[in-house]
A and B are shown apart, each in its own frame.
Chain A
């Protein structure tokens, strides 16, 4: 159990377009989901915390108008990168919190975004 999926697994887009990434908890409900960004050979940086039915909480330095997060149900959160630019190219990872404890966060396989 406790599987988290992401779609798509990779995407290539042109500069200026918007890209939506989905994160789903397949066999449990997640009140809270987290979005991370991972640069090559670096660690995960938390971008935002997404709570079902409310606005996301963004970490310092993350543009909320650039990275739109919607957590419409207990099993789905979406991250939309608006007006993407090459510097937005990265590996985006989500995690879902099953029980409110940090050790019950389960991670998706990630989405690689390449902006040309």
Chain B
């Protein structure tokens, strides 16, 4: 069935370090891919998305590229800030699944000053 797998956290980094969160998926057809972020005490917010192969989503310095050949959508940021501390969720949605979102387990990121 459809699933999303992302690296387990917590990931602890120093400010200005490079962040990578791996995400791979299995899906029927060609899904749209998403990264959501959940800041402490808040609801999920869409961080970025990509709807077809080789698309790159980007926002707030974060990037992720839709890699069809490796079924991956890894999230990267070149220089993290303390304010990036949050839980990050990879997700996908496909028409075959009625456009319902399937989430990965979430990765908690803690950035220390």
Contacts and interface: CB of A to CB of B under 8 A. Distances in A.
B81 to A, nearest CB: 23
A102 B104 CA distance: 16
A101 B95 CA distance: 9
Interface in B23-79: 32, 34, 36, 42-46, 49, 51
A102 B100 contact: yes
A110 B36 CA distance: 15
Given A44-B89, A46-B102, A93-B43, 15 more contacts: A6-B43, A34-B100, A43-B104, A43-B106, A44-B44, A44-B101, A44-B103, A100-B99, A101-B99, A102-B93, A102-B101, A103-B51, A106-B46, A108-B43, A109-B42
A23 B96 CA distance: 27
Given A43-B106, A93-B43, A93-B44, A105 B89 contact: no
Given A42-B106, A43-B106, A103 B43 contact: no
Contacts, number: 52
B20 to A, nearest CB: 19
B76 to A, nearest CB: 20
Interface in B72-113: 89, 93, 98-106, 108
Interface of B: 32, 34, 36, 42-46, 49, 51, 89, 93, 98-106, 108
A103 B32 contact: yes
- The winner among A6, A93, A100, A102 for most chain B CB atoms within 10 A is A102
Nearest to B41: A109
A109 B104 contact: no
Contact of A107 (B43, B98, B102): B43
A43 B105 contact: yes
Contacts of B45: 107
A66 to B, nearest CB: 21
